Amino acid sequence: MAKIFFNAQCSKEFKMESPSRFPLDFHRRLPGYQPTPLLSLPQVAKQVGVDQVLLKNEAGRFGLPAFKILGASWAVFQALRERLELAVQDLVSLEDIGRFVGAKHSLRISCATDGNHGRAVARVARILGIPARVHVPAGTTEQRMEAIELERAVVVMGGTYDESLKRAANDGASGALLIQDTGWDGYEKIPKWTVEGYSTMFWEVEDELERRVGVKHIPTHVFVQIGVGSLAAASVRHFRRKELFEHPVLIGVEPEGSDCVLESVKAGRIVQLPGAQHSIMAGLNCGTPSSVSFPELQKGIDCFLAVDDERAKEAVRLLAEVNVVSGETGAAGLAGLIELCSQAHIDSREALDLDRDSRVLLISTEGITDQEVYDEIIGKK
């Protein structure tokens, strides 16, 4: 049975400063930039009983199967500018920094990942010509590790995600540039930049909806995946900004057993889940929330929902039926929507005003990251 937690600490009065559009301008200068598709899924809307389901499909962002390069590229850009004391006006792209680094400096990059973040960091390091080491937890599939290695990074496997994070942090203490999407005491600036980088996705959504409708058009409900919380924090910053008269209902979705943010918000403080996390939603197998994101999630997410792997598989199959290829983590938002629209949650749905007039935004954060797993889920085997 799914877990639902209504966040009493969240209020309509909570507002944030508008996120900058600078990251969007930066990403537009990267080679191969184009906005990812915003799809309308009327068949899915009819099945779950809402007016509209929109899905931001991140399966092809810069030729990678996930959105993570948005945060990784902006964080690396900002971190190198700061470390090398470079003026903003002298640089317009990663390539500019790469030429500067290659000529005068010896740098290396390190990170920990469940897959997509590490591949994105490795891609940015490759663009810059900088060596990268990526730490992954035990059980990471061969296909995910091979994809990172194809970006010319060294992959080190072992332990849980949190243990991988400790190894990456040790690299940082030894002089490597640590590019992580989760924060802790004393390591907060780069995770903040990572969250800023994800703002590009939400500006693209809003700009596209305004282009279609002719006026500013905000969804009534947003379902967003939560791992350590960086993407969800970006959604809070965007949809809780001061100039919006009304914000959509924000619903954070986690896997059962990896619901570290739900449990932390319940406890009123950051807690670490015991042991390892083993959900099929591999990109969300995190045991500790980011200290950078947690305060914003605590105040800005209306409801937290933990779903099981079977719901994720159901969501993958439903998207495949409407010709959307999404991995298990990518389909987690839809898994949450399916769960809430089931007969077991009529009261919760009413409390969230999720009904036949609702316009729902989902984010497919990844495409296929493991072909064998995907084929098994959709029944190709």
Distance CA 50, CA 52 (A): 6
Alpha helices, DSSP H, located in 40-84: 42-48, 69-83
| Closest by Cα among 139, 301, 153, 143 to 232 | 301
Q: Is 298 left (phi over 0), alpha (psi -120 to 50) or beta?
A: alpha
Strand partners, 251: 223, 303
Q: Which of 114, 162, 181, 302 is catalytic?
A: 114
Q: How far is CA 23 from CA 138, 199, 226, 301, 351, in A?
A: 33, 7, 21, 23, 35
68 catalytic per annotation: yes
Distance CA 353, CA 363 (A): 20
SS3 3: strand
Measured CA angle at 326 (ends 24, 118), to 5 deg:
60
Phi, psi of 252 (to 5 degrees): -90, 135
Q: Which of 56, 68, 299, 313 is catalytic?
A: 68
189 catalytic per annotation: no
Name the E strands within 48-161: 52-57, 109-112, 132-136, 154-157
Catalytic machinery residues: 68, 114
